Amino acid sequence: MSLQLFCDWLAATPASLLFQTTSWVVPAVQTVHILSIAVVISAALLVHLNTLGLAMRSYSSAALAARFLPGLWWAVGVLLVSGSILVIAEPARSLPKGIFQLKMSLLIVAIALTLLYQLPMRKQPAHWQTTPARRMNARAIAILSLIIWCCIVFAGRWIAYVF
């Protein structure tokens, strides 16, 4: 089945028709989406700038990861659900567009980088401070993650403007 046919099929489902005909659904779900973006972006910003020595310097990176990353994952979950509702409401607005496909690819990279950062800290909270090489890797993850999250937000907003 081609993407175009899939979009047509999805747009004709009862769920999609319900979202299309209930005028407050799309703005309400977009609002939830933006509030969740606020949680993800701020959590990532404080955790990663702390790694770079630029934020919350009196707090350890292990403490910040323990405090903020669970919230980041919850917000990512809400983003996936709210984003799915927006796709179902208007499939052709997002699915066929390169900018949307780019956003989803970057999201996978951002999630992988966050896991790459978080998982070793579960065994050893100070994992990223134990050797100079690990410190460098943590900084690389921090810079890459921040750039990618920003690109994801930009790509998301541009879905509305690209045809």
Partner 1 sequence: MTLQPLLSWLENTGVGTAVRESAVLFPWFESVHVLAIAVVVGTIAVVDLRLLNLTFRERPVSELMSQVLPFTRWAFVVAAITGIAMFAAQATSYMDKTPFVVKLLLLFIAGVNIAGFHFITARDMHTWDVGPTLPARVKFAGATSLALWVVIVTCGRWIGFV
Q: How far is CA 98 from CA 58, 92, 145, 151, 163, in A?
A: 42, 12, 21, 14, 9
Q: How far is CA 145 from CA 110, 111, 117, 139, 148, in A?
A: 6, 9, 10, 10, 5
Least Å distance, CB 31 to partner 1, is 5
Asked if residue 161 binds partner 1 (CB under 8 A), the reply is yes
Asked if residue 26 binds partner 1 (CB under 8 A), the reply is yes
Q: How far is CA 152 from CA 13, 25, 107, 158, in A?
A: 28, 23, 7, 10
Binding residue for partner 1, selected from 20, 30, 60, 129, defined by CB under 8 A: 30
Query: How far is residue 106's CA from residue 103's CA, in Å, rounded to a whole number?
Result: 5
Binding residue for partner 1, selected from 4, 126, 147, 157, defined by CB under 8 A: 157
Residue 41 vs 87, nearer CB to partner 1: 41
Binding residue for partner 1, selected from 34, 62, 66, 92, defined by CB under 8 A: 34
Least Å distance, CB 71 to partner 1, is 9
Whether the Cβ atoms of residue 91 and residue 16 lie closer than 8 Å to each other: yes
Residue 14 vs 98, nearer CB to partner 1: 98
Site residues, partner 1 (CB under 8 A)? 23, 26-27, 30-31, 34-35, 37-43, 45-46, 55-59, 67, 150, 153-154, 156-158, 160-161
